[in-house]
């Protein structure tokens, strides 16, 4: 959900106002995903690198996330959205936020219309490191280490690899998002800053995806 800071700066507002405006973009996108029949949606809410931001902004984001979960879980639940979180639960994440995340997961865990995964304190490399740590802990011998052994130790092994990854705000980078999972994903880049992103942009990205020719390393046939 990139471009919040720039959206705010363009309006002479503090960066945090850009994050606040990102909430509507997120919920409109969720609505669009429901309309399109998308079953899995993952949003990047806070990366393992975002701790480098000014402390005030980090504090704001922690509170903002708690605030959203408190205010909007009922609505998500009513829409049949299963909410999950992906990332490290380390000491830097406020306890209260972790507790709210757990409550949100518990409350929505029977829903199946859409699984909304919130990548929070998430890094693609950290996820692979954590999977490898689990391999070692499980005592898997080198000969038994294959893609399946790693994939089954990622944060959410039941989630399908993403078909489509959308990067907003005119950046052409993957920025440590789902590194393992996006090996064959189609990437769509848009100049739209996250607070301006709406369901129409999601639909447009899906249309772009439908025009792509996916070969997964093979040939057409």
Long-range contact pairs involving 89-95 (C-beta distance under 8 Å, separation at least 24) = 89/121, 90/121, 92/51, 92/121, 93/62, 93/120, 93/121, 94/62, 94/66
Q: Looking at beta carbons only, is 46 or 122 nearer to ligand FPP?
A: 46
15 or 134: whose CB is closer to ligand FPP? 15
Binding string, residues 151-190; x marks residues near ligand FPP by CB under 6 A: ------------------x---------------------
Going by the DSSP 8-state scheme, the letter that residue 76 receives in this structure is H
At 84 the three-state DSSP class reads strand
Residue from 4, 86, 115, 117 in contact with ligand FPP (CB under 6 A): 4
Nearest distance in Å: CB 47, ligand FPP:
7
2 in active site? yes
Q: Give the one residue of 19, 84, 153, 201 binding ligand FPP; rule: CB under 6 A.
A: 19
Marked catalytic residue, from 50, 67, 111, 176: 50
Does residue 22 bind ligand FPP (CB under 6 A)?
Answer: yes
Give the SS3 label for residue 217: coil
Burial 166-183 (b: 16+ CB within 10 A, else e): bbbbeeeeeebbbeebbe
Q: Output the smallest distance, CB 20 to ligand FPP, in A.
A: 8
Interaction of residue 45 with ligand FPP, rule CB under 6 A: yes
DSSP assignment of 105-146? HHHHTT--SEEEEEEEEE-HHHHHHHHHHHHHHTT--GGG--
Q: Does 41 bind ligand FPP (CB under 6 A)?
A: no
Is 12 tagged catalytic?
no
What is the distance between the alpha carbons of residues 203 and 75, in angstroms, rounded to a whole number?
A: 22
- Residue 2 sits in the site that holds ligand FPP (CB under 6 A): yes
Binding site for ligand FPP (CB under 6 A): 1-6, 19, 22-23, 26, 43, 45-46, 50, 61, 65, 68-69, 118, 169
> What amino acid positions are annotated as catalytic residues?
2, 50
């Amino acid at each position: 959900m990139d471009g919040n800071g720039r959206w705010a700066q363009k309006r002479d507002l503090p960066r945090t106002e850009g994050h606040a405006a990102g909430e509507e973009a997120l919920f409109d996108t969720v609505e669009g995903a429901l309309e399109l029949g998308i079953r899995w949606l993952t949003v990047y809410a806070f990366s393992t690198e975002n701790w480098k931001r000014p402390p005030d902004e980090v504090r704001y984001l922690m509170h903002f996330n708690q605030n959203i979960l408190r205010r909007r879980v009922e609505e998500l639940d009513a829409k049949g959205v299963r909410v999950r979180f992906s990332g490290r639960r380390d000491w830097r994440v406020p306890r209260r936020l972790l507790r709210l995340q757990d409550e949100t997961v518990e409350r929505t865990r029977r829903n199946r219309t859409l699984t909304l995964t919130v990548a929070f304190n998430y890094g693609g490399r950290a996820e692979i490191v954590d999977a490898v740590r689990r391999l070692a802990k499980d005592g898997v011998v080198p000969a038994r280490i294959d893609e399946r052994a790693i994939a089954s130790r990622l944060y959410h092994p039941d989630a399908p690899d993403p078909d489509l990854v959308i990067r907003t705000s005119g950046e052409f980078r993957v920025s440590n998002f789902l590194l393992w999972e996006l090996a064959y994903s189609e990437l769509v880049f848009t100049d739209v800053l996250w607070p301006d992103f709406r369901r129409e942009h999601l639909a447009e990205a899906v249309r772009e995806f439908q025009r792509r020719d996916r070969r997964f390393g093979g040939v057409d046939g």
